[in-house]
Amino acid sequence: MPPITLVTGAARGLGASIARRLGTRGHHVIVNYRSSAAEAAGIVRDIEDAGGSASSAGADVTDPSAVDGLVSGILAAHGRIDAVVVNANTAPPPFAALADLSWTDFAAKVTGELAGAFHITKRVLAPMRAQGAGRIVYMGSTAADYVGGGRLAHGTAKSALATFARHVAAETARDGVSVLVVAPGAVRTPATAAIMDGERGAVLARESVLGRVLEPEDVAAAVALAADPALHAATGTTLRVDGGWSVLVGGPSS
Ligand SMILES: NC(=O)c1ccc[n+]([C@@H]2O[C@H](COP(=O)([O-])OP(=O)(O)OC[C@H]3O[C@@H](n4cnc5c(N)ncnc54)[C@H](OP(=O)(O)O)[C@@H]3O)[C@@H](O)[C@H]2O)c1
């Protein structure tokens, strides 16, 4: 039986690449979406066309009753849930310095980020504990470690997510459930293509040991490995996928 793996927010962006990659590694992938049903169905077709197995499931992962329905549906269909990639971009960053940031925007970023992790984690823990195995991968960001560039809200939220993951690791490891944060740097996605193809992209490429900007496939490859329960002992920690920024310059200056 293939591992049953849920990827939240997988209709586009990094989630779509992660879903495709997991499909090629033999997972049955549940492609979660909030509103992009047609795009999610397209990702399912991509996975099936490549010889894999997938299905799509709509749910707002910040809504606990929707999350309950999502996970209950997976358990009804498959009898288990082996891995979850907590990826949905539930709170896009309001890039701004503190002086220009409203409490409303700051709070929306922090609570939206954590709601997308809290409800799904709580809901999958009981079945994973009953199985004696489970793997949860959280999509963090190197923004948790760098200051400047208006990253205050985003960095605070991703830092809180990493701390949340450490607590989950501590509470669940002896039940067979382990967690990892994958923290990408800036990635070229449809949403960031305009920036990545300009001066900012040139700086990112120059400050990377790779000599190029990150592509979604770079992140997807790391997440697909991170979702393997064989990495059980690598729990409560963060895998950076940043193209070597910290190696060369100790982090971005802007
Ligand atoms: N892109 C980067 O450079 C980068 C760098 C570091 C970390 N990250 C992290 O990687 C993750 C994915 O980023 P991305 O840029 O690929 O995201 P994205 O393209 O902006 O969004 C991905 C998906 O998230 C879904 N989503 C949003 N709110 C949701 C909700 N409440 N419930 C279910 N799905 C929801 C959307 O679904 P619908 O379309 O169905 O509404 C969307 O398709 C995020 O956690 C982000 O912080 C991204």
Q: What is the pLDDT of residues 83-107, one digit of tens each?
A: 999 999 999 999 999 999 999 999 9
Query: For the chain, what percent of residues have pLDDT higher than 70?
Result: 98
66 touches 34 (CB < 8 A): no
Alpha helices in the chain (DSSP H): 13-24, 37-49, 64-78, 103-131, 152-172, 193-196, 199-206, 216-226, 245-249
Q: From the CB of 56, is ligand 1 less than 6 Å away?
A: no
Look up residue 197 and give its amino acid. D
Flag whether 183 is in a domain.
Answer: yes
Tell me, using a 6 A CB cutoff, whether residue 3 lines ligand 1.
no
Beta strand 177-184 with 53-58 is unpaired
Distance 88 CA to ligand 1 centre (A): 4
Instruction: Note the pLDDT tens digit of each residue in 9-37.
Output: 999 999 999 999 999 999 999 999 999 99
> Is 32 inside any structural domain?
yes
Residue found by looking up tokens 């669940």 in the block: 172
- Whether the pLDDT of residue 249 is over 80: the answer is no
The DSSP element (H or E) to which 23 belongs, if any, is helix 13-24
Tell me what pLDDT residue 195 has.
81
The CB of 189 under 6 Å from ligand 1? The reply is yes
The answer to whether residue 91 is domain-embedded is yes
Tell me whether residue 193 is in a domain.
no
Ligand 1 centroid–CA 12 distance in Å is: 8
Q: Could you tell me the pTM of the whole model?
A: 0.97
How does DSSP classify residue 95? -
- Write the residue with the smallest CA distance to atom 44 of ligand 1: 89
Ligand 1 within 6 A of 17 CB?
Answer: no
Q: Is the CB of 11 under 6 A from ligand 1?
A: yes
pLDDT tier, 153 (very low <50, low <70, confident <90, very high otherwise): very high
Atom 25 (ligand 1) nearest CA: 9
For residue 194, being part of any structural domain is answered with no
Q: Is 154 in the pocket of ligand 1 (CB under 6 A)?
A: no
Pairwise CA distance, residues 168 & 185, whole Å: 24
Q: Tokens 């895998």 label which residue?
A: 239
**Other CB atoms closer than 10 Å to residue 81's CB: what's the count?**
20
* Span 203-222, average pLDDT: 92
> How far, in Å, from the CA of 82 to the mean position of ligand 1?
22
The verdict on residue 199 lying in a domain is no
Mean pLDDT of 49-67: 98
Q: For position 250, what pLDDT does the model report?
A: 57
Whether 192 is covered by a domain: the verdict is: no
Is any atom of ligand 1 closer than 6 Å to the C-beta of 238? no
Q: Is the pLDDT of residue 75 over 70?
A: yes
CB 117 within 8 A of CB 42: no
Does 175 reside within a domain?
Answer: yes
CATH number for the domain that contains residue 31: 3.40.50.720
Question: Ligand 1 mean position to 186 CA, how many Å?
Answer: 13
Tell me how many domains the chain contains. 1
Residue nearest to atom 36 of ligand 1 (CA): 9
Which of these ranges, 127-131, 146-150, 162-166, has the smallest mean pLDDT? Answer: 146-150
Specify the pLDDT at position 190.
78
Write out the residue range of the structural domain in which residue 157 sits: 4-187+215-241
Give the residue among 136, 134, 222 at the shortest CA–CA distance from 179.
136
Give 177-197 pLDDT, tens digit per residue: 999 999 999 999 877 888 888
Residue 244 · residue 209 · CB < 8 Å: yes
pLDDT at 194: 81
- Mean pLDDT computed over every residue of the chain: 95
35 CB near ligand 1 (under 6 Å): yes
In contact, 138 and 161? CB cutoff 8 Å: yes
What percent of the chain is predicted at pLDDT more than 90? 84
